[in-house]
Structure 1
Amino acid sequence: MNIYTKILTTRYYYLEHIKLIPPSWLALCHTSFLHTVNIFLIVLHFDFKVNFLGNQIFDIGVILLAVLLVGLHYLLVVKRKAFPERVKEISVNSFKLYDGIHLVYELFTISFYFYVYQMSPINFFYIVIALVALFLYRHFLTEK
């Protein structure tokens, strides 16, 4: 199992307790959303000539990209082997490591967002504190 699949499986592992949405879809949508935001920010930052599309078509394109990424993740990861089977293959001690890698990816995505939109760093600081606090809560105050 490659590292990307292990990170997705770790997301599933920590989202299993949420019963509103199936945890496998929640893990796929969360990761696909982060990828979509990164692609959107790269397009904005490097000023690709997408102005001719118009705002409405560009927005629809971003939504279609998110749906496409969810489908692609499903076909390449979940279709081959379900998440509950993959959870058994990963040692319990390494879940924290892979979740930490995902936290770093989230923080890079948010920092890139703040950089592209030239937002105040103090707001980024608050978001970092919140995400790290959730990470610490998930790993040290609650044991599965």
Structure 2
Amino acid sequence: MLFMAVIIFILAVVVQSVFAFTGEPGSEEDPIVTLSYLKSQISELESYIARKINDILDKGVAIEQPQTSFVVKQLFKGEGLIGDEGTELILRSGEATAVGNIDGDGVSDVTLGVDLKMGEKINRNHLLIVPRKDGRGIVAKTDSWIMVKGKYEIK
């Protein structure tokens, strides 16, 4: 019985010493996060985000909206339409041929799934895509109407 009492006493001392070395609630070892602390941190974060947004807006960062619909343009005989990267074209009436780049690459006819090289005839109502801004487009052989979406230049 005495042996059992000694063991219980030793265990009690060990347990007490373990709890004595752990941090007290609210101390650096065991911090308590309060509502006021959270509110101050959130307020600082909101201020930081607002400053960053204002910095971006003050710098005048241009955010360009993509053109989302086709525009109908008339090309007169001999005029060319040179597209930027991603420009979409549809020949609605008239006759036109493809304009390629220096390397011989052409305009993508996604309706047929082919690459139209320099001088190849463009079929009406086929969707064409200019893959890069490198001088590709179309030239009107007769007065023509074109639907175009994206950036382009008429020459």
**Common fold by TM > 0.5:** no
- Give the greater-gyration-radius structure (CA): 2
TM-score of the aligned structures, taking structure 2 as reference length? 0.21
Task: Judging by fraction of residues, say which structure has more strand.
Answer: 2
The answer to which structure, 1 or 2, has the higher relative contact order (CA under 8 A, 6+ apart) is 1
